[in-house]
C-alpha cells in the first residue's frame, strides 16, 4: 500500500480501542436517536464524532484508530438501526477520491471535500480513461494548460460511471507534453457543474448505459483544486488505483454467493432442462466457483491476520473468467428461453449488479469483467512480473517525450 493508505491505517499512540469506540458510538446514538433524527443529520453527526472511518484522522471523520476496528462501530450502529451512507452509491468517492485527497490534499481540500463526500451529499466520479488511453493509461492526452490562477482543460474521458450524478470528479490531465508520459501528468479535482463539462451516456452491449463519455471543453479548474505537485499526477493516481484494488475482496461471501447461485437454482427448480453435457460442465464450474470463494476467504483471513499476500492480484482474473463461463452456461441451460432477452431499452441504472437481471444480461455484462479495472491480459503480465519475477515486457515508451509517442 502507498503512503496515504498506510498513514491512514496506522493506529496512533493513544488511539481509542474497541471498548472506547463502542462507548463513543453509544454516545452518538443517545445524542442522535436514529428513529427521530433526519438521515443526513445523523450521518453528519457520525462524521463529526469521528466514527465515519475510524482510521482517518481526528476532525476528518476518524479517530486515528486501527482500520480493523471500523467493524466494531458498524456492528453497533447496525444493531441500533442507524442509517448508513449507502456506500454503493458513492463507491468512487469513498474508495478512490477520499484516500487520494487524504494522502495528497491540502488542509483546505480535506476539510472542504471529505465530509460531504462521506455523507453522500456530493457524489464523485473518476475522469481517468480515454478513448486513446485504456490499458496504457499514462498515455492520456487530455490537456491542462495554466492560465493565471486557473488551469484550462480540454479533452475526452470515457467509461465514467456516475458522471451524470457527480458533483466532483478526480481528473488526471497532461500538463507537459514534452517529457516522457509518466512525468507530464497532473492530478486535479474537477467541478462537474462547470459549463465546459458535457456528459453523454455511453450505451453498452447490454442495451443500457451504466457509463458515460465526458467531453471537457475549456473547463476552468482553479489551481487550488490541484492534488499533489505539478507533474506528479501519475504517482498520485497510483494511490487511487491501489485503493480501488484494496476495496475489492474484503467481503465474506457465502457458498453459491456469486454468479453460480442463479444457475444452480435454475438447475434445481427445472429438472426438464437438464442434460448430461450441461451437468458435467455445471459441476466443474461449481467446483471452480467454490474454490475461488475459498481463495477469497483465505485472502480475507490473511488481511485480518496482517499478512497480505499477492493472491489478491489473481482474484479478479478468476472471477472474470468464471462469471463469463457460468453465465454462458446458464444461457445454454435455458434452452428456448435462452434465445430471449429481458429488455433492450436504453436505461441508466444507478446501481450495477453483475448477478442481477436475466441470464442474457449476466452473460453480456460479464464480458466487461475481463476489461474493467485492468484487462485480463495486463493483469496476467502483472502477476508474471510482480509475483513470479519474470522479465518485464520490452518497453519503447519510457524515455520518449509524450508528444513523440506513436498514436
Partner 1 sequence: MTAQPTQSTQPDLLYSEEEDALRAAVRDLLTDHCDAAGVIARAESDAPHDRELWKALGESMGLAGLLVPESSGGQGATHREAAVVLEELGRAVAPVPYLTSAVVATEALLACEGDEAAKLLSALASGRTIGALAVALSTAPGAPVKSVRHEEGALHGELTGIADASAADVLLVPAQDGGLYAVDAAAVTITPQVSLDLTRPLATVAFDGAPARRLTSDAAQAVRRALRAGAGLLASEQLGLADWCLAETVRHLKDRKQFNRPVGGFQALKHRLAHLWLEVVNARAAARNAADALSTASPDTDVAVAVAQAYAAPVAVHAAEEALQLHGGIGMTWEHPVHLYLKRAKADSLVYGSAGAHREALAELVDLPAPL
Q: Which of 391, 396, 399, 407 is in the footprint of partner 1 by CB under 8 A?
A: 391
Per CB under 8 A, 267 contacts partner 1: yes
**Which one, 155 or 262, has the nearer CB to partner 1?**
262
For 167, the grid coordinates are 458533483
Give the binding range for partner 1 (CB under 8 A) out of 192-200, 233-241, 332-340, 388-396. Answer: 388-396
d(CA 177, CA 400): 10
**223 near partner 1, rule: CB under 8 A:** no
Q: How far is the CB of 98 from partner 1 (least distance, A)?
A: 30
The answer to whether the CB of 174 falls within 8 A of the CB of 142 is: yes
Residue 304 Cβ vs partner 1, minimum distance, rounded to whole Å: 9
**Interaction of residue 292 with partner 1, rule CB under 8 A:** yes
The answer to the question of residue 348 lying near partner 1 (CB under 8 A) is no
Question: How open is the CA angle 233-101-106, to the nearest 5 degrees?
Answer: 90
Binding residue (CB under 8 A) for partner 1 from 41, 350, 385, 404: 385
User: Of the two residues 148 and 271, which places its CB atom closer to partner 1 in the complex?
Assistant: 271
Among 31, 75, 291, 340, contact with partner 1 (rule: CB under 8 A): 291
Establish if 388 lies at the interface with partner 1 (CB under 8 A). Answer: yes
Cα–Cα distance, 371 to 374 (Å, whole number): 6
Grid coordinates of 162: 456516475
Q: Say whether residue 287 binds partner 1 (CB under 8 A).
A: yes
Does residue 241 interact with partner 1 by CB under 8 A? no
Closer by beta carbon to partner 1, 71 or else 145: 71
Cβ proximity to partner 1, 156 vs 376, nearer residue = 376
Total residues interacting with partner 1, rule: CB under 8 A: 49
How far is Cα 124 from Cα 166, in angstroms, rounded to an integer? 5
Q: What is the C-alpha end-to-end distance of the chain, expressed in Å?
A: 33
- Grid cell digits, residue 214: 465526458
- Evaluate whether 220 touches 196 at the Cβ level (below 8 Å): yes
Identified binder of partner 1 from the candidate list 336, 345, 389, 407, rule CB under 8 A = 389
User: CA 124 → CA 195, 331, 345, distances in Å?
Assistant: 17, 35, 26
Asked if 259 contacts 289 with a C-beta cutoff of 8 angstroms, the reply is yes
| Active-site annotation holds for 290 | no
Query: Nearer to partner 1 by C-beta: 238 or 266?
Result: 266
**Contact call for residue 390 and partner 1 (CB under 8 A):** yes
**Nine-digit cell at 200?**
453523454
Cα torsion 268, 329, 311, 72: sign = negative
- Strand intervals (E) in 91-184: 124-127, 143-147, 150-161, 168-174
Residue 38, Cβ density class (10 Å: 0-12 exposed, 13-18 middle, ≥19 buried): exposed
Do 72 and 21 touch, CB atoms closer than 8 A? yes
User: Using CB under 8 A, which of 10, 294, 346, 351 touches partner 1?
Assistant: 294
Helix axes 70-79, 18-31, angle to 10 degrees: 40
- Give min distance, CB of 371 to partner 1, in A: 16
Task: Output 26 or 301, the one with its CB closest to partner 1.
Answer: 301
Of 14 and 391, nearer to partner 1 (C-beta) is 391
User: Footprint of partner 1 on this chain (CB under 8 A)?
Assistant: 252, 254-256, 264-265, 267-268, 271, 274-276, 279-280, 282-284, 286-288, 290-292, 294-295, 297-298, 301-302, 305, 307, 311, 314, 317-318, 377, 380-381, 383-385, 387-394
What residues act catalytically?
244
Amino acid at each position: 500500500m502507498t503512503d496515504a493508505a498506510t498513514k491512514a491505517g496506522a493506529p496512533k499512540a493513544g488511539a481509542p480501542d474497541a471498548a472506547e469506540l463502542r462507548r463513543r458510538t453509544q454516545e452518538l446514538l443517545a445524542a442522535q436517536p436514529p428513529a427521530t433524527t433526519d438521515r443526513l443529520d445523523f450521518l453528519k453527526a457520525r462524521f463529526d464524532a469521528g466514527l465515519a472511518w475510524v482510521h482517518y484522522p481526528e476532525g476528518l471523520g476518524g479517530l486515528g484508530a486501527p482500520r480493523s476496528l471500523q467493524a466494531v462501530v458498524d456492528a453497533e450502529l447496525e444493531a441500533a438501526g442507524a442509517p448508513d451512507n449507502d456506500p454503493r452509491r458513492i463507491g468512487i468517492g469513498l474508495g478512490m477520491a477520499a484516500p487520494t485527497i487524504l494522502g495528497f490534499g491540502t488542509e483546505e481540500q480535506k476539510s472542504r471535500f471529505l465530509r460531504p463526500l462521506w455523507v453522500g451529499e456530493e457524489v464523485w466520479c473518476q475522469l481517468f480513461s480515454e478513448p486513446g488511453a485504456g490499458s496504457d493509461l499514462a498515455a492520456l492526452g487530455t490537456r491542462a494548460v495554466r492560465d493565471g490562477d486557473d488551469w484550462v482543460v480540454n479533452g475526452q474521458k470515457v467509461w465514467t460511471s456516475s458522471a451524470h450524478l457527480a458533483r466532483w470528479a478526480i481528473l488526471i490531465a497532461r500538463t507537459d507534453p514534452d517529457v516522457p508520459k509518466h512525468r507530464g501528468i497532473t492530478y486535479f479535482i474537477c467541478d462537474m457543474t462547470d459549463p465546459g463539462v458535457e456528459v453523454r451516456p455511453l450505451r453498452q452491449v447490454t442495451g443500457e448505459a451504466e457509463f458515460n463519455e465526458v467531453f471537457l471543453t475549456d473547463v476552468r479548474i482553479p489551481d487550488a483544486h490541484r492534488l499533489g505537485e505539478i507533474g506528479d499526477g501519475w504517482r498520485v493516481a497510483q494511490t487511487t488505483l491501489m485503493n480501488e484494488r484494496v476495496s475489492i475482496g474484503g467481503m465474506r461471501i457465502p457458498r453459491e454467493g456469486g454468479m453460480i447461485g442463479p444457475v444452480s437454482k435454475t438447475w434445481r427448480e427445472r429438472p426438464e432442462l437438464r442434460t448430461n453435457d450441461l451437468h458435467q460442465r455445471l459441476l466443474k464450474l461449481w467446483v471452480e466457483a467454490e474454490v475461488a470463494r475459498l481463495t477469497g476467504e483465505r485472502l480475507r483471513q490473511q488481511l485480518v491476520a496482517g499478512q497480505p499476500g499477492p493472491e489478491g492480484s489473481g482474484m479478479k482474473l478468476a472471477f472474470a473468467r468464471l462469471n463469463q463461463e457460468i453465465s454462458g452456461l446458464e444461457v445454454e441451460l435455458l434452452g428456448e428461453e435462452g434465445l430471449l432477452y429481458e429488455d433492450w431499452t436504453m436505461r441508466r441504472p444507478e446501481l450495477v449488479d453483475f448477478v442481477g437481471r436475466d441470464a442474457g444480461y449476466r452473460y453480456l455484462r460479464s464480458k466487461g469483467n475481463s476489461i474493467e479495472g485492468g484487462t485480463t491480459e495486463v493483469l496476467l503480465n502483472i502477476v508474471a512480473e510482480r509475483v513470479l519475477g519474470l522479465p518485464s515486457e520490452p518497453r519503447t515508451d519510457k524515455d520518449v517525450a509524450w508528444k513523440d509517442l506513436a498514436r
